[in-house]
Amino acid sequence: MGSITNHRGPDDFGIWYDEEAGLGLAHNRLSIIDLSPAGHQPMLSDNERYVIAFNGEIYNHLALRRELDACQQPTNWQGSSDTETLLQCFSRWGIGNTLKATVGMFAIALWDR
């Protein structure tokens, strides 16, 4: 799983699989925004509800982070990737509101467990 997309990202490779659901996500990473291991994908949300594989760039992800940080509930950031920003937004605001607030060019695979 994922070997067909090796050319899409030489920096990292990850697989997430939910045996109970019979569903998996694979991701080849080209590190651009967050070069650290904290940007590893597929990425699981803090509340473990969402799993995401993301490709692209969220142009306003720093503004979205500031908006999340201004909320009453503190955000426990692990890194600085736009993928993590999206995941936190999905967890707090839901899918529809997050997509309305997001500016960028991207493709996502999102599993709502």
Residue 2 has pLDDT above 60, yes or no: no
Provide the whole-model pTM: 0.78
Domain boundaries, the chain: 3-112
pLDDT (tens digit per residue) in 29-87: 665 666 666 666 799 898 899 999 988 899 999 999 999 999 888 888 999 899 999 99
User: Which residues fall within 8 angstroms of residue 41, CB to CB, at 6 or more apart?
Assistant: 12, 14, 27, 29, 52, 53, 54, 83
Residue 27 has pLDDT above 70, yes or no: yes
Q: How many whole angstroms separate alpha carbon 19 and alpha carbon 76? A: 28
Q: CATH number of 3-112: 3.60.20.10, 3.90.380.10, 3.30.70.260, 3.30.70.330?
A: 3.60.20.10
Q: Which two tokens stand for residue 33?
A: 């925004």
DSSP code at position 56: E
Residue 3 has pLDDT above 60, yes or no: no
Q: How many whole angstroms separate alpha carbon 101 and alpha carbon 86? A: 10
My answer on whether omega of the bond before 10 falls inside 30° of 0, hence cis, is no
Return the pLDDT at 7.
Answer: 47
Q: How many whole angstroms separate alpha carbon 74 and alpha carbon 79? A: 15
Residue 22 has pLDDT above 80, yes or no: yes
